[in-house]
Every structure is written in structure tokens, then in C-alpha cells.
Amino acid sequence: MPPPNSPVQPNDVSAPALIPDSSLPTPHFREDDEDIEDDAIRTINYHPFDVKEEFDERFDQIKPFVRPLPSAYIEAPQARFHGPILDTDGQPSQNIDTLRLVHKIDFSALDYLSHVDQNLMCSICRMAFYKPVMARRCLHLFCRSCLDQAIKHNGAVCPIDRRSLELPPDVSSENVAGSFVKAPHAIRNQVDALIVQCPACLDQVVRSEVESHLANECPEALMSCPGKNNVENCQYQILRKDLTARCLHYIGRCDDCGEKVLMIDMRLHKRYDCKERMTSCALCGTEYNKFDAQDHHDECPEIEASCKWVDFGCTHRMVKRSSLQSHEDNCNFRFIGNQIEMLTTQMSHLKVQLKDRQRISDSRIGVLESTTRETEKNVRRFTRAQNEDYATLMGRNPLSGLSEDVDPVVTTSDYHIMSLLERQTNRIDRMEANIHEIEASVRASEARSTTTIFNEIIPIKNEVMELRSSQQTNAMHTRWLMQLRLAENRRRGTTVGSNAGGGGESNNSSPIVPHRSSDSLHQPPRL
Amino acid sequence: MTQKRISKELQECLTTPPAGIKVNLVDEGNIHNWNIVMDGPADSPYVGGKFQLLLVLPTEYPFKPPKINFKTRIYHPNVTFDEHGSMCIGILKSDSWKPSSRIPNVLTAIQQLLLEPVPDDAVEQGAAQKFKEDRKAFDKEARDMTKKYAK
């Protein structure tokens, strides 16, 4: 940085090159003019957070135009590197990448343009999850930062169900941080794919790309002033759309009002601030802003203009605009003019289309030509290879094969090979036939065996049925006999029981046993 | 984050407030102080009354519960019958507050409290006593007080 009482050299040398826009007049004042203190030659249009104090003091005499940062910023954008950046040869770097800043955005302050599903909203900040984590115990999801804050305020309890976040002792975890894990990819991908509004340019951006959009593309985002790479080591920041080749943070004088103005703010000054900005038209006397001179030129009623159908043959050229309106209402070309206009636009449209088509077909033709050439080449190579094959087969010079007659001369060795091949095919055919035969016989024997099995099973089944019915008859007989026996026992029990009393029961059973066999033998069946 | 969440909830309450509740800001520049007008629920002795409440959201919101006071006097076991109108409601106690609770939930909980007082958790002992022993007298008293203060 130059000492405070010496003028900044680089700006003097290349002053005209500093003006990026032709509409911005060259200031006729330079900072080495004697009536401006060097201390006041700069001011800023942004206040970065990290500006050194003595740097700031030098520019506090002219009020800077301060544009507030969008509220979504956590902190002001910061340069990746501080101090001038030099290329390898020691010259100030012209690489625009060195002017990029790091933008830190508060994602919970972004406006979402896509619909956010209720299930993707953090219950604490009521916004879509940002870097979501999942409590391992209750599986609830939160933004990482929200959960951190909740733990700080209320301890390690789940903010939804108030149960402890600590894992049971059998799961190993040393601290609270171990009790939650990153949310599943499916959820993180969904929230990262949401569309948000860029806090600076208000454009639509995918949420995961906001910061890189601000750093690399957004026209409304801040960048370092190009003076950062130079000797002046300018620490101020400018919008990407205002980016110029050189640092404009120095004071010039407005060529209209003579006021000291920062060159970077000159356009704004001319438009809104300059005392001389209003002027009256020499022709019509209307007051207009000099900044809008072009607009007035297009509107001034006293300026000469031509009928709008002049291209189509109207002869009303260079008359005052005030009289033009009445002419245009009655102009003979007003009917045909619209038609012609329409046709011209259609024509130009068609021309564009035609050109497109032409381009496409040209490229197609090119592709086809190249493929044809390729194929031709392949064919040529193939025929040559074939000829070479024949030639080697016949033990001749490959080149002579090309000029020989087309029909190949078949030698005895070829016959041998071909006969071998024929024999092999015959053998394979025979084997196939054999296989078919075997298959057929297998199928036949299978059928036979199933029928024999069936034949054998049927009599067995019949026998089983017979046995079953005879068993049933036997069972009926037994039941009938049992009933008979029981009735007999009861009869006898009443006659004997009166004599023997309690002890008679054990005696009862023994005399019955012989009766049972005799009964069944002597009793004629009643069936 | 706090600001964003509060303004989101305010937007919600302004566009689709819970039935019988109107919400506006005490001071346009400060979204932490809300003015709430609650209609007395239909099946309660407070029917016909319009009760004004002041809802103050702490800077730590949503990690700390909001504070709600009745600005209109109300005869209720769980609300002090004085100019503070402090109330005792479970959802707002700091040991049971959950950051996932939202203002509309709190407001409907207060409506529920008007419908069903909790005399065992009372701050206004006289009203609680009456509520437990002589429900009819309590209802009459509450109706009279509603007529007197909440018109």
C-alpha cells in the first residue's frame, strides 16, 4: 500500500482504460490534483466485515453508497486469499477466478420456491431440513444446527417426544454426539434438490448449488475489486455485474456538477445525485434527466423523424415527430405496412429455420460421407485380405492373387479338409438321431411303468376296502357282545351284590371271565 | 432462524387462524409480541366474551416456551383474577415445553382449558373450590364476570 501522502500511481497511468462503459465520461480530475487530500480519495460501496481500520479511515470523507447484504448471509463474503495475487512471473494476476469470494448462507433463511413436503420439514425451524441428523434412539429427524441448539437449551432430550437422546448402556457411545447419526441419503438428497430463490439475484437455484452459484455465476453477488491483485491492494467488493478491468475505487470529479465522486459510483451519481442532471431540451423545452437523454431523443416531438412505414415506400421522411402522428394515422402504407411487417418477420423466422435445417442436413451428409468412405475402405481391406488368404492357401505370391481369375483353384489338401468336415457333420447328425431315439424309448418306458403301477395298485385298493368293511362288521359284533355282557353282569351283580356286599366286587370279576368265553361261544349271533 | 420461524408461524396464524381466534401484532416492528383475541368457547360459561391475550415470544424461541397472559379479566381456576392474568397450563411449563410445539397448538390448548378447567392445578383457589363444590354457582359467576369484563 502506498504511503498516505503519495498519489496512487497505477490509476494515473492507465486512467482512460478504467472507464468500462462509454456512457461514463472521462473525469477531467485526477487524484493528483492539488485540492484533494489523498486521505479522502477512496470510499467504498460495500463494507466488508474484515476491512482494516486504518484503511477504512482514509475513505470516510465521502459517504459510500452502501447496499445492504441480503439477510440470508451468515457473514459477509470473504476472499479466499488476502493480499495481492501475482502470477508466476510476478505480474498482477488478471485471472478473474482470483476475485471469487466465499459466500456463507444461512440455509434456514432461504425462500423455497418448490413445495416442501411436511415430512421434510424440521419441527424446530419449520423449514426444509438442512444437513439433517437422526436421533438413534427415537429416529426423529432434525437439522443438525437446530438439534445442537435444542441440546444447548434443554439438555439431551428429543425436542419432539422429550425422551432422553442418550442411548441405552449396551449401545456403545461416549457422548451425546454419538446418539445421532446423519439422516439417510434419500432424505438428504430430497432436501438438497429443492429449488430455492437465490438471495442476491432472486433467480431459481437448486439448494445444494446456492453457494457455488453465488461464488461463480450470480450477477448480483459480490466479488473482490480487481484492484485486489494490484499494488493498491483494494479490499473492497463489487457486484459481479459491475466488474471492470481495473479498480474504480478512487475519486474523480463529475464533469457536470464538479462534485467529487467515487468513480465506481459515478453512474449512480449522474442518475440520481448530480445537481446538473436535469437539462431542458433545446427544441421542445421539456426537462429531462441527462442520463435518459436517449429516451428523450426517441420521444421529443420537435426532433425530425421518419414515418415508420418509410422502409416500405412511404415518402414522409425527416419531418417533425409531432406532425408524424397525424400522418401515420392516415398513411397509405398503414394497411399494407402491417402485413409486410408480419411477412418480413415470418420470412426472417423461416430463414433462421432454413439455416438450422441446412446446418443439420449438412452435418448429416458429412456423417454419411465419412461412413461411406469408411465402409469403402473396409470393403477394400476385406477383399484384399481375402485375396491374400487365397494366395497363402495356394502358396502363391499375395499380389499375384489379385490379378488371378476370380474362381479359386481348389487343391487336394482342400478336398481333404472338406471331406473331413463332411464326415464330422455326418457323425454329428447320426449322434443326434441316436439321442432322439433314446429319448423316445425313455418316454415309452416311463409310460409303461406308470400303467403297470396303476394296474397293481387297483387290486390292492380293492382289498383294503374289503378289509375295512370286514373290520367294521367285526367292530359292530364286538359292540353288540359288550352290551350283552354288560347287561348280564348287571343282572348277576344285583343277585350276588345282596349277599357279598362291598367285597363282592373283586370277586365278581373273576367268575365272569369264564362266562365271557362261554357266552360268546354258546350264544348264537342275532344278526 | 428464530425470526424466520416466528414470521412463518405468524403468517400461518394470520392467514388460517384457529377457529374463534384472531391474531395481530402489538407493534408492527416487533414480531415477538402478539395480540390475541379469543372468543369464549360455545359450550362454556365464557361464551359471548372476547378475551384479549398477550403472547410474548422469548428470543430463545422455540427452545423456550412463549409467555401468555390474559389481558382481559377472566374467572377461571387456572388464571389469576388480576391485571396480570397469569395462567397455568401444562404445555407452557418450561419442563414440558417441546420445541416442536407451535403457536396454533398452544392457542387451541388454551381454548380447551376454557372448556375444561383443571381445578387440581389451580392458581385461583376460590374459583377452583367453587368449581369443585358447586358447578352451577361457578358457571353463573363466570358468566357474570364474562359479561362484566369481556364485552
Residue B92, Cβ density class (10 Å: 0-12 exposed, 13-18 middle, ≥19 buried):
middle
Read off the pLDDT of residues A451-490 as tens digits, 9 standing for 90 and up: 999 999 999 999 999 999 999 999 999 999 999 999 999 9
Q: Is B13 a catalytic residue?
A: no
Residue B150 carries which side chain, given as an amino acid letter? Answer: A
- The grid cell for B49 is 366474551
- The grid cell for A396 is 502363391
Give the one of A106, A126, A153 whose C-beta lies nearest to B60's C-beta. Answer: A153
- The grid cell for B30 is 416487533
The answer to whether domain A115-193 and domain A278-330 are alike in fold is yes
* pLDDT band (50, 70, 90) for residue A64: low
Q: Which of A76-85, A443-452, A513-522, B26-35 has the lowest mean pLDDT?
A: A513-522
Indicate whether A18 pLDDT > 90.
Answer: no
Choosing among A118, A122, A125, A196, which should be mutated to test the B contact, i.e. which has the most B CBs within 10 A?
A125
Read off the pLDDT of residues A490-520 as tens digits, 9 standing for 90 and up: 988 777 655 544 444 444 444 444 444 444 4
Asked if A222 and A239 touch (Cβ cutoff 8 Å), the reply is yes
A148 shares contact with chain B (CB less than 8 Å): no
A266 shares contact with chain B (CB less than 8 Å): no
Indicate whether A319 pLDDT > 50.
Answer: yes
* pLDDT band (50, 70, 90) for residue A347: very high
Distance CA A85, CA A276 (A): 41
Give the one of B5, B63, B96 whose C-beta lies nearest to A153's C-beta. Answer: B63
Residue A508 carries which side chain, given as an amino acid letter? Answer: N
Query: A440 — alpha (psi -120 to 50), left (phi > 0) or beta?
Result: alpha
Q: Give me the pLDDT at residue A107, please.
A: 84
Give the one of B9, B63, B102 whose C-beta lies nearest to A149's C-beta. Answer: B63
The nearest CA of chain B is from the CA of A81 a distance in Å of: 30
Bridge partners (DSSP) of residue A260 are A253
What share of chain A has pLDDT > 90, as a percent? 24
The nearest CA of chain B is from the CA of A120 a distance in Å of: 14
Choosing among A119, A144, A154, which should be mutated to test the B contact, i.e. which has the most B CBs within 10 A?
A154
In chain B, what residues touch A154 (CB-CB under 8 Å)?
A: 63, 99
Asked if the Cβ–Cβ distance from B63 to A125 is below 8 Å, we say: no
CATH no. for residue B46? 3.10.110.10
**Highest-confidence range of A54-63, A434-443, A497-506, B14-23, by mean pLDDT?**
A434-443
Please report which helix (H) or strand (E) contains residue A181, including its range: strand A180-182
Distance CA A125, CA B2 (A): 7
Q: Give me the pLDDT at residue A7, please.
A: 37
The nearest CA of chain A is from the CA of B135 a distance in Å of: 36
Domain A278-330 in CATH 3.30.40? The answer is yes
Q: Give me the pLDDT at residue A498, please.
A: 53
Asked if the Cβ–Cβ distance from A123 to B100 is below 8 Å, we say: yes
A78 shares contact with chain B (CB less than 8 Å): no
A176 shares contact with chain B (CB less than 8 Å): no
The nearest CA of chain B is from the CA of A186 a distance in Å of: 23
Q: Give me the pLDDT at residue A424, please.
A: 92
- The grid cell for A211 is 453457494
Residue with cell 398513411: A331
∠ CA A317-A294-A263, rounded to 5°: 155
Q: Which of A36-45, A315-324, B62-71 has the lowest mean pLDDT?
A: A36-45
> Number of folded domains in chain B?
1
Average pLDDT over residues A245-249: 78
Q: Mean pLDDT in chain A? A: 76
Asked if A95 and A89 touch (Cβ cutoff 8 Å), the reply is no
Asked if the Cβ–Cβ distance from A154 to B96 is below 8 Å, we say: no
Question: Hey, what long-range contacts does A200-203 have (CB within 8 A, 24 or more apart)?
Answer: A200/A70
Q: Which of 3.30.40.10, 1.10.10.10, 1.10.3080.10, 3.30.110.70 is the CATH number of A115-193?
A: 3.30.40.10
Domain with B61 in it: 2-149
Q: Residue A258: which of A240, A276, A245 has the closest Cα?
A: A276
Q: Looking at B88, B91, B109, B123, which residue is catalytic?
A: B88
Distance CA A146, CA A124 (A): 6
Domain segments of chain A: what residues?
Answer: 9-108+215-271, 115-193, 278-330
Distance CA B89, CA B76 (A): 12
Query: A131 — alpha (psi -120 to 50), left (phi > 0) or beta?
Result: left
Cβ contacts below 8 Å, chain A against chain B, sum to 43
* pLDDT band (50, 70, 90) for residue A435: very high
Average pLDDT over residues A10-31: 37
Average pLDDT over residues A49-64: 50
* pLDDT band (50, 70, 90) for residue A59: low
**E strands in A240-333:** 251-253, 260-262, 278-280, 287-289, 304-305, 319-320
A488 shares contact with chain B (CB less than 8 Å): no
Q: Give me the pLDDT at residue A84, please.
A: 67
Asked if B63 and A162 touch (Cβ cutoff 8 Å), the reply is no
> What is the 3 state secondary structure string of chain B?
CHHHHHHHHHHHHHHCCCCCEEEEEEECCEEEEEEEEEECCCCCCCCCCEEEEEEECCCCCCCCCCEEEECCCCCECCECCCCCCEECCHHHCCCCCCCCCCHHHHHHHHHHHHHCCCHHHCCCHHHHHHHHHCHHHHHHHHHHHHHHHCC
